[in-house]
Amino acid sequence: MTLSTVLHGAWGLLLGRTLGRERVVFGSTVSGRAETTAGIEQIVGPMINTVPVPIAWSAGEPLDALFARLQDQQLAVLDHQHLGLVELARIAGVGELFDTIVVVENFAVTDDAGPEDGLPTAEWIDGTDAAHYPVALVVHPDERLRLKVTYDTGLVEEGFARRLVETMARFLEQFAENPAIPVAGLRVGAAPAVWRPLPDGDERTLSERTLSERTLSDRFAQVARAHADAVAVRDRHGELTYAGLDARSDALARRLAAHGVRPGSRVAVVLPRSADLIVAVLGVLKAGGCYVPIDPGSPAARIAYIVEDSAPECVLAVAETTHVLPAGGPAILMVDGPAGAAAPVHAGGHADADAYVIYTSGSTGRPKGVAVPHRAVTALFAGAAADFDFGPDDVWTLFHSYAFDFSVWEIWGPLLHGGRLVVVDQDVARDPERFRDMLARERVTVLNQTPSAFYSLIAADQQASSPLALRHVVFGGEALDLRSWRRGSTGTGTPPRGW
């Protein structure tokens, strides 16, 4: 297997991890100097061409097998690398084929001894070129690889480009350590040290500076200390304070770590709507893992496919959900099992590490797992702070399935602000009258709804008299009919703010 194959394969995986896809296409610069070309030795000047490189994989596929398959694929089209992009786009019937490229430089750099003919030697070669694509990875092979990302500053931020280099280096390091590591096992955190001087003389590595950014579990720990005695989550069976939720999730994180969960490990969560679900999500993140939510009410084929495709280290379940899991799958850990020691787990973490993987509906084919890093969730709420004044007095509902991405907003909204999360039973969520009663009883202030669910709630509200405490209604998933919104004052006298 060539170094070029490994570099191209790692870049493809990095693009996939960034975009949440398992199939990508990027460009590759090739020399164009095939040995079979007549008179190639006498032709002066560059003959380079840029060709598309498609690559696809599954979460459980070993990297060495994936890269070997990629190399075979590229060797099979070697005789056609002279075709130009315009011609290839015409054949494919598309416009632009890709917007990132990989360039592996192939300069011959001599050793200190120099050649016997006395000609000058090159000890260091570099080049400067305009960015023809939004992002380009340039690699200089040497005793130690040099990685450089060039980018269009009008489209790409410096911090993002820097993280691409760090993550690419980390992927290569992990492949060198274990060529058979599965795709799902690649970690994005703890990148190798890359030194850059700062204007103020600070000579920390980029990794050290980036690690100062907080993960979701770090943020939660800070909130839990500040609001230890406040109620964090309530379900039909009872409630947990922030201190209690922190302790229970610490205990679960310890059990997960003992089972082998490490930074980058995936853990499937197959639980009913309950406080245990929130314990499980936090426990996985505290262990350094990435949670894969699976609704136990989903069809058996979907559950089996997600378990196989995501390749989790283990599955978190309770007695009433174990029967939905496929036979012969990964180990099952019971969330309500022995608690053990509750000391915090220091698994490390990185804001760019995956926090969760949610699978699409599969309406256009097989469901696809979309990996989302911690940074994306914290950035969501950082951006929302300009429009919302969420705080510890707010009460939120977990109304949607936790395998639906709207639930991310519902879960972390209260947990990152010291508020209270009320877990809505599925039978209550399906009954607008009972749900409306619950909103009044729990004094919910932040409601998150799809418009279709909200229209039913408006009808139920028109028959009710108890006041609601809603401050914000956040819509998502569908287009909103503003006429229906205006008709619904939701019992407050003054309509809450709708988003």
For residue 316, how far is the Cα from the chain centroid? 20
Task: Return the closest-CA partner of residue 401 out of 239, 307, 219, 269.
Answer: 269
Whichever domain contains 276, its CATH number is 3.40.50.12780
Report if residue 483 sits inside a domain: no
- Rounded Cα gap, residues 242 and 323, in angstroms: 31
Residue 455 three-state SS: helix
**Cβ atoms 139, 104 nearer than 8 A:** yes
Tokens 């058996």 found at: 300
Question: How many domains, the chain?
Answer: 2
Report if residue 471 sits inside a domain: no
- Rounded Cα gap, residues 382 and 487, in angstroms: 32
Task: Return phi, psi of residue 447, to 5°.
Answer: -115, 135
Q: Do 203 and 221 fall into the same domain?
A: no
Q: What is the mean pLDDT of each run of 10 residues along the chain (499 residues)?
A: 92 86 86 61 66 86 93 81 67 72 71 56 57 82 85 81 88 91 74 37 37 76 93 94 95 92 92 95 94 95 94 94 93 76 62 90 83 89 84 94 92 95 93 93 92 86 87 84 60 50
- Rounded Cα gap, residues 373 and 188, in angstroms: 9
**Cβ atoms 458, 436 nearer than 8 A:** no
Q: Do 192 and 337 fall into the same domain?
A: no
Q: Which tokens hold the place of 462?
A: 């028109």
DSSP string, 482-493: HHHHHH--TTSS
- pTM value > 0.85: no
Report if residue 485 sits inside a domain: no
Task: Return the closest-CA partner of residue 1 out of 82, 51, 74.
Answer: 74
Establish how many alpha carbons lie within 13 A of residue 252's alpha carbon, considering only the half-sphere containing its beta carbon: 30
How do strand 23-30 and strand 49-56 relate by DSSP bridges? antiparallel
Q: Packing angle between helix 275-286 and helix 406-415, nearest 10 degrees? A: 80
Q: Do 170 and 221 fall into the same domain?
A: no
**Cβ atoms 318, 271 nearer than 8 A:** yes
Q: Do 206 and 220 fall into the same domain?
A: no
Q: Hey, which bits of 275-433 come out as E strands?
A: 290-293, 314-317, 331-334, 354-359, 369-373, 395-398, 420-423
Whichever domain contains 187, its CATH number is 3.30.559.30
- Rounded Cα gap, residues 173 and 188, in angstroms: 11
**Cβ atoms 499, 472 nearer than 8 A:** yes
Report if residue 476 sits inside a domain: no
Q: Which residues constitute the domain of residue 410?
A: 216-430
The pLDDT of residue 10 is: 94
Q: Packing angle between helix 275-286 and helix 242-259, nearest 10 degrees? A: 50
Task: Return phi, psi of residue 147, to 5°.
Answer: -110, 135
Q: Do 26 and 128 fall into the same domain?
A: yes
- Rounded Cα gap, residues 452 and 482, in angstroms: 12
Q: How far is CA 309 from CA 181, 304, 485, in A?
A: 15, 9, 40
Contacts of 437 (CB under 8 A, 6+ apart): 464, 466
Q: Do 200 and 223 fall into the same domain?
A: no
Q: How far is CA 393 from CA 154, 163, 231, 260, in A?
A: 41, 36, 11, 38
Residue 151 burial (CB count, 10 A): 19
Q: Is 302 exposed, middle or buried (0-12, 13-18, 19+ CB in 10 A)?
A: middle
Amino acid symbol at 188: V
Report if residue 114 sits inside a domain: yes
Q: Do 288 and 225 fall into the same domain?
A: yes
Q: Do 178 and 233 fall into the same domain?
A: no
Q: Do 204 and 277 fall into the same domain?
A: no
Q: Do 255 and 282 fall into the same domain?
A: yes
Q: Of 369, 404, 430, which residue sits at a domain end?
A: 430
The pLDDT of residue 119 is: 57
Report if residue 382 sits inside a domain: yes
Please say whether the dihedral angle defined by the alpha carbons of residues 242, 247, 250 and 256, taken in this order, is positive or negative. negative
- Rounded Cα gap, residues 266 and 294, in angstroms: 12
Q: Do 177 and 191 fall into the same domain?
A: yes
Q: Of 183, 210, 237, which residue sits at a domain end?
A: 210
Q: Which residues pair with 24 in a beta bridge?
A: 55
Computed on alpha carbons and rounded to an integer, the radius of gyration of the chain in Å comes to 27
Longest dimension (CA), the chain: 97
Task: Return the closest-CA partner of residue 127 out of 150, 145, 143.
Answer: 150
Amino acid symbol at 69: R
Q: Which tokens hold the place of 413?
A: 């909204």
Q: Of 210, 228, 251, which residue sits at a domain end?
A: 210
Q: Do 182 and 232 fall into the same domain?
A: no
Q: Which tokens hold the place of 365?
A: 């084919």
Task: Return phi, psi of residue 465, to 5°.
Answer: -120, -20
Q: Is 158 exposed, middle or buried (0-12, 13-18, 19+ CB in 10 A)?
A: exposed
Q: Which tokens hold the place of 266?
A: 């995936």
CA end-to-end span of the chain: 52
Report if residue 384 sits inside a domain: yes
Task: Return the closest-CA partner of residue 368 out of 10, 159, 58.
Answer: 58
Q: Which tokens hold the place of 227?
A: 């609001």
Report if residue 181 sits inside a domain: yes
Contacts of 383 (CB under 8 A, 6+ apart): none
Task: Convert the pLDDT of each residue in 101-148 to its tens digit.
Answer: 898 877 655 455 555 556 555 555 555 555 577 889 988 887 788 898
